[in-house]
Structure 1
């Protein structure tokens, strides 16, 4: 499945998002994603089963506990639980899901993508949102350039 640029743009237009799989380890990549989004004016609600505080924000144990609800969720969990997260997002009324992938498999799994399709969820699967932001850092610009050269960058309809 090739992502569509319209889905990327539409997802990023939502300024209040959940980050499912936000780590309690401040050196984890999920925390870098969260900080970058916060620095750019997004309101990010961390979701971690252990709860607590992450980047100075109260973490919810599950997406269904977010109040008020969000319309979009970035999933940064192991792929084995991504389908379960997608279904929890649908149950919470979240209709936009980004299955993160930077290096490796990320949160992307065939069952998670299929669940999004079955549940009518707009999905961006296998991308890092940081490379789509205005003025990304060098690594993210390089990642974007490489995907364009390889023909794997999201297509415009």
Structure 2
């Protein structure tokens, strides 16, 4: 997509991205697809799952604090009840941008997580999927993005 929403462009301008919620069962979770898309796009991407030491053939970190160096952004692709914990880790790590994954339903968004991010001054994207914006965007994600934009569920 050539005309990215400002919040999306700012998030994608970062080069070190963590994906919280990458699963040991790659076919069962969207976090793995997001992780692979960022990695394929040339980003330095970090998998985060407290219950895994390796996913997708690479080291997996138990928490954001275990990742060496700064992180430009975090995609939260966890269950909503885990999102606030990830936001608190973002605050501790100094992460300034968070993308809460959501296509339909609650996704990874929770009121507690949104409030924690807002209180900390973290810039958030509250819905949608980075795969709707990371080129090349497949037809399915392009269609869902347009549909969700009509209903105000993803950044415009």
Scaled by the length of structure 1, the TM-score of the pair is: 0.89
Which aligned pairs between 1:7-22 and structure 2 lie closer than 5 A?
7-22=7-22
CA apart distance, 1:102: 2.4
CA apart distance, 1:119: 0.2
CA apart distance, 1:106: 1.1
Partner Cα separation in structure 2 for residue 16 and residue 77 of structure 1: 19
Contact 1:71 1:93 in 2 (8 A): no
CA shift in 2, pair 1:75/1:42, >3 Å: same
Q: Paired residue for 1:5?
A: 5
Contact 2:127 2:153 in 1 (8 A): no
Contact 2:49 2:62 in 1 (8 A): yes
Q: Paired residue for 1:24?
A: 24
Q: Paired residue for 2:93?
A: 92
CA apart distance, 1:103: 2.9
Gaps of 5+ in 1: none
Deviation string, structure 1 residues 66-102 (Cα, Å, up to 9, x no partner) = 0023121101111112111101111011111111112
Q: Paired residue for 1:72?
A: 73
Secondary structure in structure 2 of the residue aligned to 1:130: helix
Q: What is the aligned residue count?
A: 152
Partner Cα separation in structure 1 for residue 149 and residue 55 of structure 2: 34
Secondary structure in structure 2 of the residue aligned to 1:127: coil
- What is the RMSD computed on CA atoms of the aligned residues? 1.7
Answer yes or no: is 1:55 the counterpart of 2:56. Answer: yes
Deviation string, structure 1 residues 30-84 (Cα, Å, up to 9, x no partner) = 1111112211111210001023111222111001110023121101111112111
Q: Paired residue for 2:116?
A: 115
Secondary structure in structure 2 of the residue aligned to 1:59: strand
Contact 2:17 2:74 in 1 (8 A): yes
Scaled by the length of structure 2, the TM-score of the pair is: 0.90
Q: Which deviates more, 115-124 or 68-77?
A: 68-77
